[in-house]
Amino acid sequence: MEDVVIVDAARSAVGRKNGTLGLVHPSDTLGPVMMELLERNGVSPDTVDQIIGGCINKLAAQGMNITRTAWLSHGGAEGTPCITIDSQCGSSQEAVHLATSQLRAGMADVVMACGVE
């Protein structure tokens, strides 16, 4: 079994409830962070095998698969599978655990774990 490592991490600006960032679509918060991580590490979007995102409030703007919406709307490869999970309070951490499991099992070489709210 090969070692699994976290190569890099980033986050978006932090806002307050009903603050100015509340007017920004969640995909426009998450998507640029995803692309920045790839760019600064020299990783092409088409080499990402899987993206796993956490989101506990999958309603309205975050409905459906917000992880895929963010990925595609900011230039991600169309063939990259993206899932959004809801683990209530631990969704992004669970995304990291699932990414690690896929890597350890040899199911993927490059997995991005993320979260949005």
Tens digit of each residue's pLDDT (9 = 90 or more) over 74-111: 999 999 999 999 988 899 999 999 999 999 999 999 99
Domain range 20-115, CATH class: alpha beta
Query: What is the 3-state composition of the chain as percent helix, strand, coil, each rounded to the nearest 5?
Result: 40, 10, 50
Mean pLDDT of all residues belonging to the chain: 93
Q: Is the pLDDT of residue 1 over 80?
A: no
**Residue 63 or residue 38, greater confidence:** 38
The end-to-end CA distance of the chain, in Å, is 34
CA distance 117 to 30: 9
